[in-house]
Amino acid sequence: MAYLELIDIEKKYGDFSLSLSLSADEGEFVSLIGPSGSGKSTLLSLIAGLEMPDSGRIMLAGEDITGKRIQERNIGMVFQDFTLFPSMDVGRNIQFGMKERNRKKRRDLEEKLLALVGLEGYGRRDVTSLSGGEAQRVQLARAIASEPSVLLLDEPLSALDAPMRKHLRAVIRSIHDSLGITMIYVTHDTEEAFAISDTIAIIHEGTTAGKKAAESLYRNPDSLFTAFFTGEGTAIPASAVLGEGVEGTLFFRPENVSLTEQPLDPDEYPNHIIFNGAEIISAEFTGEAYMLGLDWQGCQILARTTVKPRRRKASAMVLKAAALML
């Protein structure tokens, strides 16, 4: 039995309808990704008790919590916006949700949590003096202070700049690994989800489009929507490559394509798909590699290479094992 289970959940808002089932094991770090308006934040609100489902059940550690109030669920939440109390210093913000009543133990726990989020010595600071990254770490410490069974994080890093987001996602993952808290993390950043998660669930049009380990989701997507939502790639009719009468779409990632300057004999490469005469039509330097756009018989192909290309015709070959029929 999963630790957290959403069973046949239904929730309607006007024309929008959420209809899904989802589960997380104890101690699992699950990221929810999907287009804006797909239902990710609504799902967190249902788990937290901020919203009630029209039907379905929410189970936590074998207990039905569907009808319980927010304060009865023992679920922590970190929001995108900073929601610290300006009238309290950092330490009192963290202590606000603590269950421990002994004053010394509360102070000791405050110091441990500040150390956990990398803010040692910040206890007596005015929260209005904090940077965005510092304020978000205080929010994390405050949420953890309540000893939640599940910690929900709703795009907690989206308001921060790129270097701080990378730093704090490492902090969040470290907290998870140190404490073993079950975490459900909503993000619009697919790269962030890959970097931080055990598993990823895609929410699309109010339902789940698959939940897998991050690497499996990227390398073995179940649909073209999932394939393109989780990264760049090429989709071409299978019949264009494999011959007339073959149905379906062939999908592959840019890194699975390698280039040669001479045409290749397909008989010498039985385990490859050969695109002789592919023409390089664009080249974009991305910092770590070049993303190439190629045209082959009217089909557009993406390829990633670390070698600066010459704008000339080239042959492209893609590993057959790395191409998916979708």
Which has more confidence, 264 or 218? Answer: 218
Q: Is 94 left (phi over 0), alpha (psi -120 to 50) or beta?
A: alpha
Is pLDDT of 259 > 90?
no
Is pLDDT of 320 > 70?
no
- Rounded to whole angstroms, how far apart are CA atoms 119 and 114? 5
pLDDT class for 311, splitting at 50, 70, 90? Answer: low
Q: Encode pLDDT of 231-241 as tens digits.
A: 999 999 988 88
Is pLDDT of 123 > 70?
yes
Residue 87 pLDDT = 93
Residue 278 pLDDT = 87
Q: Considering only CA atoms, which of 177, 185, 182 is closest in space to residue 158?
A: 185
Is pLDDT of 245 > 90?
no
Residue ranges with strand state E in the chain: 4-13, 16-24, 29-33, 55-60, 63-64, 75-78, 150-154, 182-186, 199-204, 207-213, 234-237, 249-252, 257-260, 272-275, 279-285, 290-296, 299-305, 315-319, 324-325
Is pLDDT of 111 > 80?
yes
SS3 percent helix, strand, coil of the chain, rounded to 5, is 30, 35, 35
Q: Which residues pair with 235 in a beta bridge?
A: 251
Q: Encode pLDDT of 24-49 as tens digits.
A: 999 999 999 999 889 999 999 999 99
Is pLDDT of 159 > 80?
yes
| Domains of the chain from N-terminus onward | 4-229 (3.40.50.300), 234-325 (2.40.50.140)
pLDDT class for 324, splitting at 50, 70, 90? Answer: confident
Q: Encode pLDDT of 161-220 as tens digits.
A: 889 899 999 999 999 999 999 999 999 899 999 999 999 999 998 898 778 999 999 999
